[in-house]
Amino acid sequence: MSGTGRVVHVDPGTVPNTNEAAQRVLVDRPNGDRLLFFIPAGAAPPEGAAITWGPHHASWPGRRVRKLTNEIDPDAPLR
């Protein structure tokens, strides 16, 4: 999935299913939806930054990084 939004919060996390160290990026989309995805540790965008993403990468001013997961509904139950 592709999209645009604004970074709400970034914190350390681990990629589900692999336990790889990562940054968890929480994003608000313009339509009001909230989602999250994981990017490599140390690659965190600033909170409040505009962000765009596609199926494999996320970008914000001055940076483009590989996404480690697809977008996830932060309110979905854990499986």
- Residue range 4-17, pLDDT digits in tens: 999 999 999 999 88
Q: Would the pLDDT of 61 be above 70?
A: yes
- Could you give the angle at the alpha carbon of 32 between the alpha carbons of 39 and 19, nearest 5°? 25
Evaluate whether 68 touches 19 at the Cβ level (below 8 Å). no
Q: Quick one: pLDDT at residue 79?
A: 60
Contacts of 69 (CB under 8 A, 6+ apart): 15, 16, 37, 38
Q: Strand locations in the chain, DSSP E?
A: 3-14, 21-28, 34-40, 50-53, 57-60, 63-66
The CATH code that applies to domain 3-66 is 2.40.50
pLDDT at 1 over 80: no
pLDDT tens per residue, range 23-56: 999 999 999 999 999 999 998 999 999 999 999 9
pTM of the model: 0.91
Average pLDDT over all residues of the chain? 94
